[in-house]
């Protein structure tokens, strides 16, 4: 999805860094990355470090970072809205990509970047439980890779308990247990419970034009 | 041998002998290698910046430092497996929160599929769209 946008904007001091939150490592993503023939930067993040640094809970999520290394759009769902209506998906994808184009062209004057106060207001809170969750996930992931699966499971489950909003932790653990486990019946049940609680799996990026399409 | 894990580093070092299982004791140079901090009389120092430590916050025994106690005294999580051969020295929520509130995008170094390392800071001077995905 991003390759076309990258090719269009690469000569305007723009880079896409796609980070794969894959605890199964390079082997899990080498195939998909090669087949996609992407020319932007594609990195592998076994420990989910980027999710910790940017307080992310799901994929895909994105952050916009300017030339001075400043966050100008904090962590949000990245790209198109998820909907059963394909026309809405296409429209929202175009809105998001056009927003990135606008930013590359207009920089700080883009309507799609936030000033410091607005950015700070949009940062999800990094709680003690979230910090402890990431610690548990990291050691759990390490032990799983080392073959200590029983102990690893205990740490991974603790990470999920401490940060139940993190679909990354939950789905990664399911995927370690079984390569297709992250989209199985357990996942469906959890997603249904989520919806019953009135929570959004993919909250919309904060863009007026996107809200208008989805309403 | 024990494995020491921090957010951005991983070391395997010999275990200190004769210590309780729930205590991580490591040589000062290992603490420095792991964190970049030097233990000075002024406190914990990285470059020119020193964080003073409360009296008695750092237990030392010759060259060895009680690293797990030091870490916890800084409000950071410490975890270990049942054999105490793998230790996770985590980050404090307050530090992560403060970092994000500064709006300075936290740097990281990760490999591409060829194993070559790249850092976010490599791209300073460009606008970066940082996006996550997963094979699952």
Cα A191 from chain centroid (whole Å):
17
Give residue A81's pLDDT. Answer: 77
Q: Do B135 and A34 touch (CB under 8 A)?
A: no
* Cβ contacts of B124 on chain A, cutoff 8 Å: 67-69
* Cβ contacts of B11 on chain A, cutoff 8 Å: none
The pLDDT tens digits of the residues spanning A47-104 come to 999 999 999 999 999 999 999 999 999 999 998 877 778 899 999 999 999 999 999 9
Q: Do B135 and A127 touch (CB under 8 A)?
A: no
Q: Do A69 and B124 touch (CB under 8 A)?
A: yes
Give residue A85's pLDDT. Answer: 84
Can you tell me the distance from the alpha carbon of A173 to that of B125, in angstroms, rounded to the nearest whole number? 37
Q: Which residue of A has its CA nearest to B108?
A: A50
Q: Do A66 and B127 touch (CB under 8 A)?
A: yes
Please give the average per-residue pLDDT across A165-179, as a whole number: 96
Give residue B33's pLDDT. Answer: 95
What is the pLDDT confidence band of residue B42, given thresholds at 50, 70 and 90? confident
Residue A118 has pLDDT above 90, yes or no: yes
C-beta of residue A112 within 8 angstroms of C-beta of residue A20 = no
Give residue A84's pLDDT. Answer: 77
Instruction: Determine, yes or no, domain membership for A102.
Output: no
* Cβ contacts of B123 on chain A, cutoff 8 Å: 15, 17, 41
Residue B41 has pLDDT above 90, yes or no: no
- A31: which strand partners? none
Q: Do B110 and A19 touch (CB under 8 A)?
A: yes
Of B88, B107, B111, the CB nearest to A26: B111
Pairing of strands B86-89, B2-5: parallel
Measure in Å the smallest separation between the Cα of B70 and chain A Cα atoms.
17
Look over chain B and give the mean of its residue pLDDT values, rounded to a whole number: 93
Residue A13 has pLDDT above 80, yes or no: yes
The pLDDT tens digits of the residues spanning B74-109 come to 899 999 999 999 999 999 999 999 999 999 999 999
Q: Which residue of A has its CA nearest to B75?
A: A128
C-beta of residue A133 within 8 angstroms of C-beta of residue A162 = yes
Give residue B48's pLDDT. Answer: 84
Reading the block at residue B33, the tokens are 């290698």
Give residue A57's pLDDT. Answer: 97
Give residue B86's pLDDT. Answer: 98
Domain that holds residue A185: 128-196
- B80: which strand partners? B87
In chain A, count of helices (H) and strands (E)? 10, 4
Q: Do B105 and A69 touch (CB under 8 A)?
A: yes
Of B91, B105, B115, the CB nearest to A63: B105
Residue A163 has pLDDT above 80, yes or no: yes
Measure in Å the smallest separation between the Cα of A101 and chain B Cα atoms.
11
The pLDDT tens digits of the residues spanning A24-33 come to 999 999 999 9
Q: Which of A170-174, B61-65, B113-117 has the lowest mean pLDDT?
A: B61-65
Measure in Å the smallest separation between the Cα of B118 and chain A Cα atoms.
8
What is the pLDDT confidence band of residue A148, given thresholds at 50, 70 and 90? very high
Look over chain A and give the mean of its residue pLDDT values, rounded to a whole number: 95
Residue B34 has pLDDT above 90, yes or no: yes
* Cβ contacts of B126 on chain A, cutoff 8 Å: 13-15, 67
Q: Considering the entire predicted model, what is its pTM?
A: 0.95
C-beta of residue A59 within 8 angstroms of C-beta of residue A21 = yes
What is the pLDDT confidence band of residue B114, given thresholds at 50, 70 and 90? very high
Provide the domain count of chain A.
1
C-beta of residue A201 within 8 angstroms of C-beta of residue A58 = yes
Give residue A144's pLDDT. Answer: 98
* Cβ contacts of A16 on chain B, cutoff 8 Å: 128-129, 131
Give residue A82's pLDDT. Answer: 78
Can you tell me the distance from the alpha carbon of B126 to that of B136, in angstroms, rounded to the nearest whole number? 30
Q: Do B113 and A29 touch (CB under 8 A)?
A: yes
């Amino acid at each position: 999805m991003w390759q076309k946008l990258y090719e269009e904007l690469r000569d305007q001091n723009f880079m896409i860094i796609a980070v794969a939150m894959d605890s199964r490592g390079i082997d899990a993503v080498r195939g998909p990355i090669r087949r996609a023939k992407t020319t932007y930067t594609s990195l592998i993040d076994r420990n989910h470090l980027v999710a910790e640094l940017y307080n992310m809970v799901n994929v895909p999520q994105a952050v916009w970072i300017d030339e001075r290394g400043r966050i100008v759009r904090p962590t949000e769902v990245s790209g198109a809205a998820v909907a059963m209506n394909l026309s809405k998906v296409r429209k929202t994808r175009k809105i998001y990509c056009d927003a990135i184009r606008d930013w590359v062209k207009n920089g700080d004057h883009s309507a799609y970047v936030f000033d410091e106060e607005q950015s700070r207001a949009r940062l999800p809170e990094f709680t003690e439980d979230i910090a402890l969750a990431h610690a548990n996930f990291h050691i759990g992931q390490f032990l799983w890779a080392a073959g200590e699966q029983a102990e690893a499971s205990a740490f991974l489950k603790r990470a999920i308990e401490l940060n139940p909003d993190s679909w990354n932790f939950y789905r990664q653990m399911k995927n370690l247990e079984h390569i297709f486990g992250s989209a199985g019946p357990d996942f469906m049940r959890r997603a249904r419970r989520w919806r019953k609680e009135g929570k959004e799996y993919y909250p919309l990026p904060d863009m007026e034009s996107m809200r208008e399409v989805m309403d | 041998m024990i494995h020491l894990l921090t957010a951005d580093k991983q070391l395997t070092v010999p275990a200190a002998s004769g210590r309780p299982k729930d205590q991580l004791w490591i040589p000062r140079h290992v603490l420095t290698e792991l964190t970049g901090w030097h233990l000075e009389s002024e406190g914990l120092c990285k470059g020119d910046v020193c964080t003073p430590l409360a009296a008695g916050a750092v237990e030392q025994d010759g060259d060895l430092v009680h690293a797990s106690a030091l870490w916890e005294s800084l409000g950071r999580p410490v975890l270990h497996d049942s054999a105490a051969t793998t230790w996770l020295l985590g980050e404090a929520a307050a530090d992560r929160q403060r970092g994000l509130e500064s709006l300075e995008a936290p740097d990281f170094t990760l490999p591409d599929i060829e194993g070559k390392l790249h850092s976010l800071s490599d791209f300073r001077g460009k606008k970066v769209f940082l996006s996550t995905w997963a094979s699952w």
